[in-house]
Structure 1
């Protein structure tokens, strides 16, 4: 009968040969005979881990560290098997204990760094990786992980050397090849990335994650069919790979293949990096009849997405639903102008009772939107008339063609490096005679204004823009005073499109899916024109094209005429504006309200362009609005009398008050005309009032 040492040697020999069941059986016999033998518990744990018997492996390692609590490798292996079982949080403590016992344990540092990175503790993870690199500079895995944590922070240039170092140490390191490829795509080198990723797949042909990354790289080169094939191969290997489904949807949607794209787009909720929606218990709306039900629309993704898809509220309202929008903080003032919305709840607040809910970007799928059924009616958002008036006065001294510009999107967006434009690229526009560039940029990107150092002029408006009046409210009003908006693919583009103002958007070589391919218009926004890169990263060519288009069209796409261009007395104009203001406050019908707001905004623009403001004019305008409000009330009361067939003294008094109020109204309009020196003066003739 062999001794315990001889049995251990035999078990180790079997384990080294890959005969894990035999090794496990031998080790089990040893620990039954000698249950205090920490070494055997430890190697039994390693054999069970190799055989994927992870629960038993965990129990063995726990027994080993109990018997030998000062042995760092016991904690390291215990943490490793916990990590392999997906118990990341539990693995932290044994890794920390390992490092207390052996502060230079590079592998434990690397694995703990991985967990902390997954928990969002980026700085702590990076510090561990950097320490591990110093201790063990030839450790390929730590270079790879350090590259990942730097890349995730947007430090692409710093990440690349670590990936390259990992591959120099371990040339067949397929995962490092893939992540270096992802970094190269971010740096605008997708062709190099494709080559590297194909090499990785030669090493590991069944590497599903690599096919997903290859699909993204091919999409960036413009090879959309190749991208689709790569994503499908990934899904063949791993059918529930959420990121591949979502990436596949983006290609289908970019191609205009909405029928295939929308179902795949719903996989976004299972992607690791997508923020889940608040966990309401009510079911997601399935498209069934809404009449009499309240539906909660949940905003998701960015400001631009919310502005883009809030248009669907009107369609739900037309189905008889009561529509509540769960919206981003600060955006309620703007979004409440959207037809179809019955109520708004800021994110984080408790919404009123509702029957069903729908993520905002799921509505196109639920409603079966195709290219020909896109709800493209604009405007569906409206600037505040008082803010339009304010900014019209502020911008009035600026002569020439006024072009609003925005160049920087959200820097946290994964594609922002490619979709945002350096401010310096707008110089061809600034050099056009009589063009005045006006910055609409907020937040990240404004620092580029100072960096210009006078290279070309850009008017920067108040730093408090959109703070006092609600998010984007000032911006929306300013847009009404501009001749054209030229912007990168940002929320500014969506806002301008939703307001139906002329907007030109500069797009990267492979743009966001909503801009489609091979067209210079957008079915989502009729007043929008698209300018596309022909080569990834080449903004100079795009901006030169835009500048040339401005030269050829000095009025930069005049707004569609909203009526017959005739001169009217200013009193008549202001009278009409007050009537429309009253209607906008009292009429609830969605279609009517849209028409009222469109006409009101148009007339306010004319007034601000043509009529000088003064305190006296403001006072007369208030009086005129008060008269028109009284006329509205009187007419309502007369209709009630007619409905009740009450034609007695009350009816007669109200009928008489109509002409008295109209006479007062005419007198106020005449005062306005006289104040402004109008050659067109309203005249009125009437018989004297009867004696009372």
Structure 2
């Protein structure tokens, strides 16, 4: 029996979304309620997570009802779900123009601005909601996230605590408080927050994954690696589904016929976890490594006992895939080879640059730079979530390193012309090699890094390259969101990379103490007893 429009709305309101969807679809044929039914259908599809199908209905009805605030807001939410943040922003702003105090549109605008990296504007939108509705927990939750992204850690924790007070049973609110606490270094409190989530929801992947980072950062490796496996169920960790269908290798006592080790996450993570490859190759004979295409040449030279291919090529090679009996993600090798901090005692440089090319490039640089000491610098992280907090102003960094016997060499990837011209205008010379593009050819980039006498960098891919090749490297670490677990806590050295020295922020966003310590160390470098011959 065909339902009436009012019955369809009732089904919608009581949460019977699938039945409401069917009812709205039937009512599209009734010209008296077709427009309203299209609106209702678009909203139901949006609530069911099908924004792609919802968009045509919401777009069509918004043309018929251009002043309907809730409709325009729903249209913005659909654009947001499909990743069209600019269109979503325009819709939310239109809703707010129609109704300046509309809490849903203001919160949605704050969220999409956060997703676009416009954190200051996100805060402005969310503060309007908080001012008008001081008991709106959703507004406080999103306000806390934007404050955290700007490195305002204490303010973020305060907002997160308020959100939890207003919405104590909402999982993401509890997790967000744990994230802010962890960023402040309050690991015990953060651990309690995550465990509180797991008490109510034992399969919360995000809580498990965040706990893993605390465990690993504090040296609780057994618990850490176990919880680290939950990363595959969290947003942003896209594992190679084809590889994961192969029998997992989960016991060092099992010798596979042919073992696939596939890398994961960004280039820096792939390099970090590759430090365990020598341990693996000492234990297993028949290994194939599938990595980023840009790392194939470097990994092939560094791990000659394994076959190294790009993941894209392997996925297209049915015969090669069929010959594989077991697989393991490179990040899961820690469960076998890094049980405790003592397992790092035998750590050594493991990536090998092309030695003759290093020698040639170093000679060219020495001639060009009047035989000065070569200090490579990198100051920017392109990480979309944490890059801003990890990066440092180039002029601020370079002004501490300008010495007569030192030639600064840019190791920074990406577009840097404007920043470097600003530094050169201040009388500081930075050499940029036009023949090297760190983004396009990582093997050539490895050659350049290896040619340096010293590398000074923020926590980015450059630090991993230098550490993996045993190049002396000073890494400047931020506090807060950019403080990754693998740098551990407080220590000045890196168990992963013996050649790396760490300089840590004391206050989030404040590099003054780091630069002062680095400048003092640099004034004494190199020690008179040390012969620079990389």
Same fold flag (TM > 0.5): yes
Residue aligning to 1:533? 505
Matches within 5 A, 1:502-517: 502-510=472-480, 511-517=483-489
Q: Is it true that 1:267 corresponds to 2:230 in the alignment?
A: yes
| Aligned residue among 170, 174, 178 for 2:137 | 174
Matches within 5 A, 1:125-204: 125-204=88-167
Residue aligning to 2:312? 348
User: Relative to structure 1, is the Cα distance of residues 338 and 69 closer, same or farther in structure 2, using a 3 angstrom cutoff?
Assistant: farther
CA distance in 2, matches of 1:228, 1:76: 44
Q: How far apart are residue 282 of structure 1 and its match? A: 1.3
* SS class of match (1:485): strand
| Aligned residue among 430, 434, 440 for 2:411 | 440
Residue aligning to 1:492? 462
Residue aligning to 2:392? 421
Q: How far apart are residue 453 of structure 1 and its match? A: 4.5
Q: How far apart are residue 411 of structure 1 and its match? A: 3.7
Gaps (5+ residues) in structure 2? none
CA distance in 2, matches of 1:44, 1:170: 33
Q: How far apart are residue 446 of structure 1 and its match? A: 5.3
Q: Which has the higher mean CA deviation after the structures are superposed, 523-532 or 360-369?
A: 360-369
CA distance in 2, matches of 1:558, 1:382: 23
Matches within 5 A, 1:581-620: none
CA contact (8 A) 1:291 1:320 kept: yes
CA contact (8 A) 2:205 2:234 kept: yes
CA distance in 2, matches of 1:43, 1:310: 61
CA distance in 1, matches of 2:187, 2:337: 26
Instruction: Output one character per residue of 1:301-358: Cα deviation in whole Å (capped at 9) or x when no partner.
Output: 1111111111222222222332222111222221112236522222321352311111
User: Relative to structure 1, is the Cα distance of residues 362 and 109 closer, same or farther in structure 2, using a 3 angstrom cutoff?
Assistant: farther
* SS class of match (1:57): helix
User: Relative to structure 1, is the Cα distance of residues 287 and 321 closer, same or farther in structure 2, using a 3 angstrom cutoff?
Assistant: farther
Q: How far apart are residue 69 of structure 1 and its match? A: 5.5
CA distance in 2, matches of 1:553, 1:462: 24
Q: Is it true that 1:103 corresponds to 2:74 in the alignment?
A: no
CA contact (8 A) 1:163 1:180 kept: yes
CA distance in 2, matches of 1:527, 1:44: 70
Q: Which has the higher mean CA deviation after the structures are superposed, 335-344 or 532-541?
A: 335-344
| Aligned residue among 392, 399, 420 for 1:449 | 420
**Which has the higher relative contact order, 1 or 2, with Cα contacts under 8 A spaced 6 or more apart?**
2
CA contact (8 A) 2:256 2:325 kept: no
Q: How far apart are residue 63 of structure 1 and its match? A: 3.7
Q: How far apart are residue 47 of structure 1 and its match? A: 2.8
Instruction: Output one character per residue of 1:93-126: Cα deviation in whole Å (capped at 9) or x when no partner.
Output: 3323322322333322322322332222223322
Residue aligning to 1:328? 292
Q: How far apart are residue 455 of structure 1 and its match? A: 1.7
CA contact (8 A) 2:376 2:456 kept: yes
| Aligned residue among 265, 273, 288 for 1:301 | 265
User: Relative to structure 1, is the Cα distance of residues 341 and 66 closer, same or farther in structure 2, using a 3 angstrom cutoff?
Assistant: farther
| Aligned residue among 336, 361, 364 for 1:394 | 364
User: Relative to structure 1, is the Cα distance of residues 287 and 164 closer, same or farther in structure 2, using a 3 angstrom cutoff?
Assistant: same
CA contact (8 A) 1:293 1:355 kept: yes
CA contact (8 A) 2:168 2:174 kept: no
User: Considering only CA atoms, is the larger Rg found in Structure 1 or Structure 2?
Assistant: 1
- Please give the root-mean-square deviation of Cα atoms over the aligned residues, in Å: 2.5
CA distance in 2, matches of 1:557, 1:116: 63
| Aligned residue among 345, 355, 361 for 1:385 | 355
CA distance in 2, matches of 1:292, 1:73: 61
CA distance in 1, matches of 2:401, 2:358: 25
CA distance in 1, matches of 2:206, 2:283: 34
User: Relative to structure 1, is the Cα distance of residues 558 and 129 closer, same or farther in structure 2, using a 3 angstrom cutoff?
Assistant: farther
Structure 2-normalised TM-score? 0.91
Q: How far apart are residue 509 of structure 1 and its match? A: 2.1
Q: How far apart are residue 203 of structure 1 and its match? A: 1.7
Q: Is it true that 1:338 corresponds to 2:309 in the alignment?
A: no
* SS class of match (2:72): helix
CA contact (8 A) 1:313 1:340 kept: no
CA contact (8 A) 1:334 1:471 kept: no
CA distance in 2, matches of 1:481, 1:172: 58
CA distance in 1, matches of 2:27, 2:531: 78
Residue aligning to 2:193? 230
Instruction: Output one character per residue of 1:475-495: Cα deviation in whole Å (capped at 9) or x when no partner.
Output: 332334322111110111111
Matches within 5 A, 1:247-286: 247-280=210-243, 281-286=245-250
Q: Is it true that 1:80 corresponds to 2:43 in the alignment?
A: yes
Q: Which has the higher mean CA deviation after the structures are superposed, 438-447 or 252-261?
A: 438-447
Q: How far apart are residue 523 of structure 1 and its match? A: 0.9
CA contact (8 A) 1:483 1:558 kept: no
User: Relative to structure 1, is the Cα distance of residues 338 and 214 closer, same or farther in structure 2, using a 3 angstrom cutoff?
Assistant: same
User: Relative to structure 1, is the Cα distance of residues 277 and 244 closer, same or farther in structure 2, using a 3 angstrom cutoff?
Assistant: same
User: Relative to structure 1, is the Cα distance of residues 405 and 200 closer, same or farther in structure 2, using a 3 angstrom cutoff?
Assistant: same
Gaps (5+ residues) in structure 1? 1-31, 561-601, 606-692
CA distance in 1, matches of 2:298, 2:118: 35
CA distance in 2, matches of 1:69, 1:455: 72
Q: Is it true that 1:93 corresponds to 2:48 in the alignment?
A: no
Instruction: Output one character per residue of 1:236-283: Cα deviation in whole Å (capped at 9) or x when no partner.
Output: 333333222212211221112222221221111111222232423312
Matches within 5 A, 1:397-408: 397=367, 398=369, 399-408=371-380
CA distance in 2, matches of 1:218, 1:48: 42
Q: Is it true that 1:214 corresponds to 2:185 in the alignment?
A: no
CA distance in 1, matches of 2:210, 2:453: 37
CA distance in 2, matches of 1:522, 1:467: 24
CA distance in 2, matches of 1:96, 1:368: 54
User: Relative to structure 1, is the Cα distance of residues 366 and 109 closer, same or farther in structure 2, using a 3 angstrom cutoff?
Assistant: farther
Residue aligning to 1:318? 282
CA contact (8 A) 1:428 1:543 kept: no
Q: How far apart are residue 558 of structure 1 and its match? A: 4.0
* SS class of match (2:134): coil
CA distance in 2, matches of 1:113, 1:358: 41
Aligned residues: 523
User: Relative to structure 1, is the Cα distance of residues 160 and 247 closer, same or farther in structure 2, using a 3 angstrom cutoff?
Assistant: same
Q: How far apart are residue 442 of structure 1 and its match? A: 1.4
CA contact (8 A) 1:483 1:556 kept: no
CA distance in 2, matches of 1:237, 1:169: 32
| Aligned residue among 551, 555, 566 for 2:523 | 551
